[in-house]
Amino acid sequence: MTARAAETPERGTPVAKPAASTTGAGPGRGAEPESSPPNPERTGDGTATGPRTLLARLNTPAVRTRLGTLAGVVILAVLLWRLGTGVFVDGLRRIDGPSLLVALGIGLVTTVFSAWRWALVARGLRIRLPLAPAVADYYRALFLNAALPGGVLGDVHRAVRHGQSTGDLGRGVRSVVLERMAGQLALFVAGAVMLLTLPSPVRDDLRQTAAPAGLAVLGACAVVLALRMNRPRPSRRGRALRSALAEAREGLLSRRNGPGVLVSSVVVLAGYLAMFVLAARVAGVGATVTELLPLAVLALLAMSLPLNVGGWGPREGVAAWAFGAAGLGAGRGLTVAVVYGVLSLAASLPGVLVLVARWYAGLRAGRRTGATTAPPAPVPASHAQDAPDRAPLAPDYASLPPLEVSIEKYAPKESTRLARSSLPFSAEPSEGRPMTPESV
* CB-based contacts of 266, cutoff 8 Å, min separation 6: 186, 190
The phi, psi pair for 438, rounded to 5°, reads -70, -35
Predicted pLDDT at 158:
92
284 closest CA partner among 83, 428, 93:
93
Report yes or no: 146 and 344 within 8 Å, Cβ to Cβ: yes
DSSP 196-256: HHS--TTHHHHHHHHHHHHHHHHHHHHHHHHHHHH-SS--HHHHHHHHHHHHHHHHHSSTT
Determine the average pLDDT of the residues in 25-32.
43
Determine the average pLDDT of the residues in 182-204.
88
Count of C-beta atoms within a 10 Å radius of residue 56:
11
Residue type, 157: H
Predicted pLDDT at 115:
96
What residues are paired with 42 via a beta bridge? 48
Out of 125-134, 219-228, 244-253, least confident range: 219-228
Axis crossing angle, helix 258-282 with helix 169-197, rounded to the nearest 10? 60
Count of C-beta atoms within a 10 Å radius of residue 178:
23
298 closest CA partner among 273, 275, 279:
273
Predicted pLDDT at 88:
75
pLDDT per residue over 4-26, tens digit each?
444 444 444 444 444 444 444 44
Report yes or no: 280 and 95 within 8 Å, Cβ to Cβ: no
Predicted pLDDT at 20:
43
pLDDT per residue over 72-122, tens digit each?
677 777 777 777 777 778 778 888 899 999 999 999 999 999 999 999 999
CA distances from 197 to 90, 277, 367 (A): 33, 19, 61
Q: How confident is the model at residue 240 (pLDDT cuts 50, 70, 90)?
A: confident
Predicted pLDDT at 313:
80
For residues 151 and 308, give the distance between their C-alpha atoms in angstroms, rounded to a whole number.
7
Q: Helices H, strands E: what count in the chain?
A: 17, 0
Q: Where are the alpha helices (DSSP H) in 348-411?
A: 350-373, 381-386
pLDDT at residue 57 is higher than 80: no
For residues 66 and 412, give the distance between their C-alpha atoms in angstroms, rounded to a whole number.
85
Report yes or no: 284 and 338 within 8 Å, Cβ to Cβ: no
Determine the average pLDDT of the residues in 159-166.
87
For residues 66 and 183, give the distance between their C-alpha atoms in angstroms, rounded to a whole number.
25
pLDDT at residue 59 is higher than 70: no
Instruction: Find the helix or strand (DSSP H, E) in which 100 lies.
Output: helix 97-124
Determine the average pLDDT of the residues in 422-440.
44
Q: How confident is the model at residue 401 (pLDDT cuts 50, 70, 90)?
A: low
* CB-based contacts of 409, cutoff 8 Å, min separation 6: 437
pLDDT at residue 58 is higher than 70: no
Q: Give burial (CB, 10 Å; 0-12/13-18/19+) of 198.
A: middle
CA distances from 296 to 162, 188, 291, 333 (A): 32, 13, 9, 10
pLDDT at residue 164 is higher than 80: yes
Determine the average pLDDT of the residues in 148-164.
85
Count of C-beta atoms within a 10 Å radius of residue 326:
19
DSSP 151-170: S-HHHHHHHHHHHHHHT-HH
Q: 69-100 burial by CB neighbour count: b if 16+ within 10 A, else e? A: bebbbebbeebeeebeeebbebbeebbeeebb
CA distances from 325 to 10, 115, 133, 301, 340 (A): 97, 36, 44, 17, 20
Predicted pLDDT at 340:
93
| C-alpha dihedral, 334 to 336 to 339 to 345, nearest 10° | -90
Out of 64-73, 280-289, 353-362, least confident range: 64-73
Q: 346-385 burial by CB neighbour count: b if 16+ within 10 A, else e? A: bbbbbbeebeeeeeeeeeeeeeeeeeeeeeeeeeeeeeee
R_g of the chain computed on alpha carbons? 38
